[in-house]
Structure 1
Amino acid sequence: MDISVYRPGELTAADRTAWTALQSKAHLNGSPELANPFLSPEFTLAVGRARRGTRIAVVREDGEPAAFFPFQRTAAGVGRAIGLGVSDCQGLVHRPDFTWDARQLLRACGLFVWEFDHLVQGQPPFEASASGSFPSPVMDVDRGYDVYLRELRAKSPKFTRTTLAKERRLGRDAGEVRYVHDERDPAALNTLTAWKSAQYRRTGRSDRFAHPWINELVQQLFHTRSEPFAGVLSVLYAGTRPIAAHFGLRTERVLACWFPAYDPAYAKYSPGLILHLRMAEAAAADGIAYLDLGRGQKEYKDSLKTRDIMVSEGWVTRRHPIAFGHRARRAPVRALRNVVLSRPALFEPADKILKRVGEIRSKG
């Protein structure tokens, strides 16, 4: 393999075009998940502006780009998937039938270890080092919203009927329900991030928006527009008041759901569910094949999904003390987290404790 490693600003326009072309054709080549916006050059470049150590390995065959591998690394050679912690899809974007040696790739990138937690399907050299695989629910809308809604009614008639009834009641109680699929007002984004921060604190979770680099990344992506990538802010209004919003990323065929939140004052109307149904309708009209709801077990995801795709977590390592040390530190934390999340008998008490901590934090 002919492998060159670049800083984000060094990537040529021709290479970016080739990268985008690989994603655009992915569904035709049997790898539709490679079209995920978290695997796009725009996402990597935005991370590169917000975080140091961002690099892109370009693998060439006969002088032409065959694969792109974005990653982050430390001076000590510890590598992580690009945007680890906020990225919901990771891996190597490649042409059909491309094969690679994972450790050879790491060596060329100056890495002793590469950590991932949302590895896309169809990457055997990386999957061989996975410690576990997990479902990532999706909403298929490639046959149109009417088909999706009809199948949702057949699968979950009570859920569908109740959600649509709540939307009608919301309109009667709070004013005309209005949906904007691609809201460009920065004030609406600020409202969303404030809601999301409050939700994190209320439920005892770590507030992602307390990290300046995540704020910077989201702001950058909100203003990013290219063909076919965009940051999309969707807002549900009751009258003139925003009551639910979502910020995600899209490519030609995939809308990656990322940061949803709503005004708790309207919780009884389930505005988040109404918002997701409106998003599905608008995405279908826009030619999107599916909405990726992201890894993580949530009741609303189970209600809305049509199927699951699988993502993996783990480490690719070379034989080196740095690799062994990094994995030794990280593996127990990941293992404990996964055990708690996968077992209701453990998750429910832990979730209650976190929420109680959140209540105390909010009152303080």
Structure 2
Amino acid sequence: MSVEIIGTEALTPAERALWLGWTRGSRAFESPFFHPDFTAVAGRSAPEARLAVLHRSGTVVGFLPHQRRGGAAQPLGAPLNDYHAVITGPDLDFSIEEAAELVGARSYTATGWTGSATEGEGRTRARTLLADVSQGWDAYYAGRRTDFGKFFKDKERARRSFERDLGPIRVETSTTDLSHFDRLIELKQAQYQRTRRHDIFACGWTIDMLRGLLTHRGEDFGARLAVLYAGDRPMAYELGLKGGDHYHFWLPAYEADAARYSPGMLLSMETMKAEAARLYDFGFEGESYKKYFCDLTREVWEGVGQAAGPTALSAISGLAPGGLAQSVRRRWAIIDACETTTLGRVRALSAAASAMAGRGRSQPAASLLLAASALCL
């Protein structure tokens, strides 16, 4: 096996065709995040973006898009990349533990690895939730309403109240007005400030990446921005990513005075009606509403594949037990992906430690500070 590191837009036509053949023929790669256009477009904005091309006996056998942060590697576009793996043929499978070695890094941090992994040492299983609409919206909705009648009757009542109080609802499922994108980012940043989470857009490059995806015009790939209006006023926004017949709900936000009408759910339902995709991916489980929409699950891995030597993430695992370690690792991974300077990381880690300590979680706060020291010394 040999590995060639190239730019994210340096694929030959033959390599691109090979990549598309693998992703179209495998459920393991059934996501827009595995489309070569995601790698090309995201790589224009993501700092230290790279593409590993794997060769065996002179033949290309895999691709691994990634970004470097010092000696560590991450999925390209992290923390906004929800699915990742080595893109390869049906007879090969590379584990998360192998990823770091393949790209010559100390470690590789994954949040949604679809390949193989070994449980333990900071690697855990997670699930994402999807809706199968292959039989059409009407059949899908009839089935969900039969199974969860009270929930969907409540949404229908919310819609009627919304229109009564604020005006007729209409939806644009693929707007090109970037002022709506700017408003979505404003709302997300206000949410991060309110919940004392790291602002993933403060670094700037993440906004540039999303804007690049939104303005990309590919045949079967691109971001979509949906907007729900009540009367003439936009009230909810959702940025999604579409590849082929798979639609990934990605970044939702809504105006505060519309909250009681469930505008985000109404917008998702209208998007599902209009986009005519086969699968709608609602991302990671956790929010209770997703179970009413989704009838499929997908298992992924999160955690760290480590090539050699101690890392900040492995130090966290030793300092905080169980769920606390997982919470701290997730915060650290987001900060490490967004911030590309030591000063930026230290400031962000200090703010995160303060936020966690303010909730009475002193051990995770201490772990974050120690992780910062491990990285910066």
Tell me the TM-score normalized by structure 2: 0.79
Per-residue CA deviation, residues 15-55 of structure 1 (Å, 9 max, x unaligned), is: 233323322232xxxxx240211222222223322223221
1:173 counterpart SS class: helix
Q: Quote the Cα distance in structure 2 between the aligned partners of 1:275 and 1:258.
A: 13
Aligned residues of 1:167 and 1:269 also touching (Cα < 8 A):
yes
Opposite residue 165 of structure 2, the aligned amino acid is D
Once the 2 structures are TM-superposed, how far is the Cα of residue 13 of structure 1 from its aligned partner? 3.6
Mapping for residues 125-274 of structure 1, pairs under 5 Å: 131-274=123-266
Match of 2:44, SS state, is: helix
Which residue is 2:49 aligned to? 54
- 1:329 is matched with 315
State the 1:71 CA deviation: 1.4
CA distance in 2 between partners of 1:18 and 1:112 (Å):
29
Secondary structure of the residue aligned to 1:294 is strand
CA contact (8 A) 1:225 1:231 kept: no
Letter in 2 for 1:53: E
Q: Structure 1 residues 124, 156: closer, same or farther in 2, change over 3 A? A: same
Deviation at 1:299, TM superposition (A): 2.0
Residue from 16, 20, 37 that aligns with 1:42: 37
* 1:339 CA drift (Å): 6.7
Q: Determine the structure 1 residue equivalent to 2:22.
A: 22
Separation in 2 of the partners of 1:14 and 1:97?
20
Contact 1:295 1:311 in 2 (8 A): no
- 221 and 126 in structure 1: CA distance in 2 versus 1, 3 angstrom threshold: farther
Report SS of the residue matched to 1:8.
coil
**Partner of 1:79 in structure 2?**
73
Q: Is the 8 A contact 1:133 1:312 kept in 2?
A: yes
Q: CA 1:164–1:171 in 2, change beyond 3 Å: closer, same or farther? A: same
Distance across 1 between alignment mates of 2:65 and 2:36: 8
User: 1:110 aligned to 2:104?
Assistant: yes
For 1:313-337, what per-residue CA distance to the aligned partner results, in whole angstroms no more than 9, with x for missing partners? 122222x32xx23442343578416
Paired letter, 2:288:
E
Q: Do the aligned residues in 2 keep the contact of 1:182 with 1:233 (CA within 8 Å)?
A: yes
Q: Aligned partner of 1:233: which letter?
A: L
Distance in 1, matches of 2:158 and 2:146, equals 19
Structure 1 residues 353 and 103, CA gap change in structure 2 (3 angstroms): closer
Letter in 1 for 2:158: K
Greater alpha carbon shift after TM alignment, 257-266 vs 306-315: 306-315
Query: Which residue identity lines up with residue 16 of structure 1 in the other structure?
Result: R
| Structure-1 separation of matches of 2:281 and 2:66 | 22
> How far did residue 63 of structure 1 move?
5.0
AA partner of residue 336 (structure 1): L
Tell me the TM-score normalised to structure 1 length: 0.82
Matches within 5 A, 1:288-303: 288-303=277-292
CA deviations on 1:252-293 (whole Å, 9 max, x unpaired) are 02111110011111112111111111122123x2xx221111
Whether the 8 Å contact between 2:53 and 2:63 is mirrored in structure 1 is yes
Distance 1:200 1:104 in 2: 34
**8 A Cα contact 2:62 2:86, kept in partner:** yes
Partner SS state of residue 201, structure 2: helix
Shift of 1:156: 1.4
Deviations 1:78-110 (A, max 9, x none): 222222221111111122122457766644422
Q: Identity percentage over the alignment?
A: 27
Does the C-alpha gap of structure 1 residues 146 and 33 become closer, same or farther in structure 2, counting only changes over 3 Å?
farther
Structure 1 residue 147, shift from structure 2 partner = 1.9
Matched-pair contact (CA < 8 Å) for 2:119–2:125: no
TM-aligned CA deviation for residue 158 of structure 1: 0.8
1:210, distance to aligned residue in structure 2 (A): 2.0
RMSD: 2.8
Give the match for residue 4 of structure 1: 4
Q: Does 1:98 align with 2:85?
A: no
